[in-house]
Chains A and B, each alone.
Chain A
């Protein structure tokens, strides 16, 4: 899916839980340029919320760190969201993606990756222990009349 990059935005914020709402609002605001449906916009917000929460909860268990969100819009109504941290990393990505698996506290359900996978068209997780994790997700929006790209 290599197509023309229309625009991009990069936002770095600290791993405070209060930034979860900020990150999904920013992603939705940027996505709005491709004129997605309300449901598609809600899907992006939900997936971003899951990925950013993972970075905040798991990447920096005992300190504040940086989370970088890169948003890219491509021709053909495709949005790519990349959430990157430089935290502890995930020793076993496949295990982490298993439904109900969590190493988090009781307010985590272990369903984050399942939701990212079902709400976006593509999910890729790259992680190295001690170096950090990068989650890349892509979604193609339905082409509506007047949409850019």
Chain B
């Protein structure tokens, strides 16, 4: 589940890929946490276009990124959400907390 990072005008985009389940969530959380701590982005965009499967563990990954961005006073946006991941996020009402494009 590699994370590809691009940087532009103070916004950092992290493209997540592969299957996000409990098995891989902890590693992904830690990698995202390190990315946020080292780059201190004003805006973080998580691009989910490469995510082939996501369960509620993915929600925990997004909520932790949100907490860390809130602590920095920055913003978080989630884009290019595949249909399966979108259904999981909608069922959990995540759109009330995080901007989902």
Contacts and interface: CB of A to CB of B under 8 A. Distances in A.
B53 A107 contact: no
Interface of B is mostly: helix
A50 B20 CA distance: 12
Interface residues of A, number: 27
Interface stretch (A13-21, A74-82, A124-132, A135-143): A13-21
Contact of B23 (A18, A45, A46): A18
B22 A106 contact: no
Given A114-B92, A115-B88, A119-B87, A21 B56 contact: no
A94 interface: no
Interface residues of B, number: 23
B60 interface: yes
A106 B88 contact: no
Interface of A is mostly: helix
Interface of A: 17-18, 20-21, 24, 39, 42-43, 45-46, 49-50, 53, 56-57, 99, 106-112, 114-115, 118-119
Interface of B: 19, 21-23, 25-26, 29, 53, 55-57, 59-61, 63-64, 83-84, 87-88, 91-93
25 contacts: A17-B23, A20-B23, A24-B53, A39-B87, A42-B53, A46-B55, A49-B53, A49-B55, A50-B55, A53-B55, A53-B57, A106-B29, A106-B60, A107-B26, A108-B22, A108-B60, A109-B56, A109-B63, A109-B92, A110-B56, A111-B91, A111-B92, A112-B56, A114-B92, A115-B55
